[in-house]
Amino acid sequence: QDYTGIKMKVLEWSKPAQDALAQYADALNGKTVYLVAATLRPETMYGQTNCFVGPELKYGIYQVNDTDAFLCTERAARNMSQQKIFASTEIVKLADIKGSPIVGTKIHAPMSVYPSVYVLPMETVLATKGTGVVTSVPSDSPDDFATLSDLKKKPEYYNIEAAWVEGFDPIPIIETPNYGNLIAPKLCEIKKINSQKDKNQLAEAKEIAYKEAFYQGVMCFGEFSGTKVQDAKPKVREALLKSGEAFVYNEPESLVMSRSG
Ligand code: ZZB
């Protein structure tokens, strides 16, 4: 899979993350840390409302160069190392941290209409895919919309503050002929999806959302508004790569299958 690695800069660690990272203060000193998400949909980045981590997953903070470090799974760090994304040939891990304390961390999501967004928990994040960090676009991803809706309905149950989700609403990014400009909420309504646990309906909704946007979608937001999604996708990606806010991240298909099987 040819992913785009999105660099989400940490603006302020949550209190639990500060506590968990205190013991690594020396190693992290002077480093800007980015949560890194692998996406197939760079053209939707305007609508990012948050990012997700798996609360039970293990993450590391890996040195990129003298100034930068990436937070992702160890598996992703190994892939990045092989793809020469790190300055050093060795993998240098600066810290270990679980997903749950990262929740509540304030980050900057490139291109998002929301200048800063929060890290939130998602039970269905796969450790075996991408970086284990998922950027959330509830306008165009049914999984993201369903999860964000769960969190908005029951913040106490999910152990989050209401302020981390309130006001972070789906933004119309892509106009589609059959499902309007908020395809994920529309598909969740049509398929009667009530939570992130409705696996089968969510898989069907995702399939439709991908196809509809790619083959029939037209951008209705941003620099490429009025352009077909098929044409805008590589252009938005190029802009992100050029600004240094993203990088090319590949995942061999066979590797994905063998590890997640
Ligand atoms: C932003 C985005 C916006 C995404 C969208 C999708 C959509 P796929 O579809 O299975 O081939 N993702 C990435 N890593 C993980 C993970 N470890 N666990 C769970 N989900 C993950 O996988 C690619 C997409 O799955 C990625 O693209 C990412 O979400 C998510 F509007 O990034 B995407 C219709 C989908 N729309």
Contact 136, 123 (CB under 8 A): no
- Provide the residue range defining the domain that includes 87: 2-260
> Tokens representing 171?
């933004």
Across the chain, mean pLDDT equals 96
CA distances from 34 to 70, 133, 181, 209 (A): 5, 11, 30, 28
In whole angstroms, how far apart are CA 42 and each of 8, 102, 111, 244?
A: 13, 24, 10, 14
- The CATH number of residue 207's host domain is 3.90.740.10
Residue 49 CA: distances (Å) to CA of 1, 24, 30, 106, 247: 24, 29, 28, 12, 21
For a mutational test of ligand 1's pocket, the pick from 39, 58, 75, i.e. the residue with the most ligand atoms closer than 8 A to its C-beta, is 39
Give the mean pLDDT of 68-93: 97
How much is the ipTM here?
A: 0.98
59 pLDDT exceeds 50?
yes
Q: Can you name the residues that pair with 229 across neighbouring β-strands?
A: none
Number of domains in the chain: 1
Distance, CA of 13 to chain centre: 17
Each residue's pLDDT tens digit, 201-247:
999 999 999 999 999 999 999 999 999 999 999 999 999 999 999 99
Q: Average of pLDDT values for 27-47?
A: 98
Tokens at 162, concatenated = 């209401």
Out of 40, 72, 250, 253, give the residue to mutate to test ligand 1, the one with the largest number of ligand atoms within 8 Å of its CB: 40
Average pLDDT over residues 111-125: 98
